[in-house]
Amino acid sequence: MHNSAYSACGMPHVYDSLQVDSLSSVQGLLEEGKRDGIVVSLPYKTEILQMLDEVAPDARCIGAVNTVVIEKDFISGQPMKRPILKGYNTDYIGIMNCIQLSLSPANSVKQGTSALIVGAGGMARAAIYACVQVGIQNVCIFNRTRENAHKLTEYYELIDTLDSPWPAQLRQPTVIVSCIAPDTPATFSIPEQWLCSKTSGVFIELAYTPLATPFTKQMQSKVSRGWILVDGFEVLVEQGVAQFEILTRRPAPVYVMRDAVQRSILNAILLLNGPNLNLLGTREPHLYGTTALKDIEQSSIELGTKLEARIETFQSNHEGHLIDRIHAARGVADAIMINPGAFTHTSVAIRDALLGVNIPFIEMHITNVHTREAFRQHSFLSDKAAACIIGLGVFGYEVAIEHAARDLVNK
């Protein structure tokens, strides 16, 4: 994400990762003079505070730093004797931005707005601070280990058990933030008696490996009631954008960073459509249906997101363009889904391109080609395809995506 942003901005910076096994190793990184900043992850976000010269007020309040700027050039026009270390917290900024961007007008923050924080670790502190910053004064905390939760309850309400009712003096929560660490996934569901907001709300999941957590799967069923789901991918991007701007002091290329994160987290599936498929919706609807290609592509992208896959779409009426797109997928796409149209029966070149990039592919046809003209019953691709999905109408695209996302990309 950061390296993609640096490249897009023409900056010479490099973001790399380093695993350290002690706090003294972190101090060595800060003092060696080779870096302009470091990003800190657990378990050192709290311990690093003692090493810093300055700590931003929000980071001090949260009690954790995840971004350190190393200033080592000049102060008052004179060379510095040693670097000045400044600490910041962007975790809460990522959460705060997601709350602000996702709350519907019906759930705009008011005096009685309530929030539920699930978890009691360091990220829970950032989540509480984010809620306070957007104006939410009523915050409840639930944690599997009651003792840990008590550390945060000096100013906030503690819900003791999953059987507990929502506090009677508070409105139902319209903001819920899950701060459960991905290495200890939740073995429980959010109780229904805590999900009774008449205007629903926003649910934010901080974990992103995997994107589909037990809580997001539970809350997916609430979308029809108006709940908005924000996964850890979005939070990661928002805090990364804040981090970039603190480290570089310039606006972040948000779309570049979002695309980079998406590419690194999600499996990439290329959806190709061949000649005349741009006419879907109006072309021989008795055979091909009335669904337009743009609608097929949009629903494919949405289904892919649910299955933790990034769907890229491309359509062309020209054989060479399709071949070029197949070549461009090498080293990028994990699977290809292709409806070759009439090229199915004529193109040795597309067959060779698919074999040349060595990416598993699924051949698709909206109609049952084996019940149509004889020339449509021969395919130059079928014997090399991982699967052939034929005659299911546009539903075949959904079947292909599910198979590609769940089976092909893991091989």
Q: Phi/psi at 58 (nearest 5 deg)?
A: -65, -40
- If you write DSSP's letter for every residue of 263-320 in order, what string do you get? HHHSEEEEEEE-TTGGGTTTS-HHHH-S--HHHHHHHHHHHHHHTTEEEEEEE-S-HH
Q: 329 and 323 in contact (C-beta within 8 Å)?
A: no
Q: 93 and 100 in contact (C-beta within 8 Å)?
A: no
Residue 261 DSSP SS3: helix
- Spans of all domains in the chain: 2-88+238-258, 93-230, 266-410
Q: Is there a binding annotation on residue 321?
A: no
Q: Is there a binding annotation on residue 367?
A: yes
Q: What is the pLDDT of residue 79?
A: 54
Give the domain 93-230 fold. Rossmann fold (3.40.50)
| Residues paired with 267 in a beta bridge | 309
Alpha helices in 103-178 (DSSP H): 122-133, 146-150
Burial, 255: exposed, middle or buried (Cβ in 10 Å; 0-12, 13-18, 19+)? Answer: exposed
Q: Considering just the CA atoms, what is the radius of gyration of the chain in Å?
A: 26
Q: What is the pLDDT of residue 18?
A: 79
Is the link from the previous residue into 173 a cis peptide, with omega within 30 of 0? no
Q: For 266-410, CATH number?
A: 3.40.50.9100
DSSP state letter for 223: G
Nearest to 177 by CA among 149, 199, 206, 201: 206
Catalytic site residue 155? no
Q: What is the pLDDT of residue 211?
A: 75
Q: 178 and 149 in contact (C-beta within 8 Å)?
A: no
Please identify every stretch of the chain with a pLDDT value under 70, giving residue numbers as ranges: 33, 73-81, 147-155, 183, 185, 409-411
Out of 6, 208, 288, 397, which one is annotated catalytic? 288
Q: What is the pLDDT of residue 96?
A: 97
- In tens, the pLDDT along 327-357 reads 999 888 889 999 999 999 999 999 999 999 9
| Amino acid symbol at 88 | Y
Alpha helices in 36-87 (DSSP H): 57-62
- In tens, the pLDDT along 16-67 reads 887 877 777 777 777 776 788 888 887 788 888 888 899 999 999 999 999 9
Q: Is there a binding annotation on residue 286?
A: no
Can you read off the two tokens belonging to residue 347? 């193109």
Distance (Å, rounded) from C-alpha 364 to C-alpha 356? 20
Is the link from the previous residue into 210 a cis peptide, with omega within 30 of 0? yes
- Choosing among 3.40.50.10860, 2.30.30.110, 3.30.70.920, 3.10.560.10, the CATH entry for 2-88+238-258 is 3.40.50.10860
Out of 92, 129, 365, 397, which one is annotated catalytic? 365
Residues near 164 by Cβ (< 8 Å), separated by ≥ 6?
Answer: none
Distance (Å, rounded) from C-alpha 101 to C-alpha 87? 26
Catalytic site residue 288? yes
Q: Is there a binding annotation on residue 345?
A: yes
Residues near 285 by Cβ (< 8 Å), separated by ≥ 6?
Answer: none
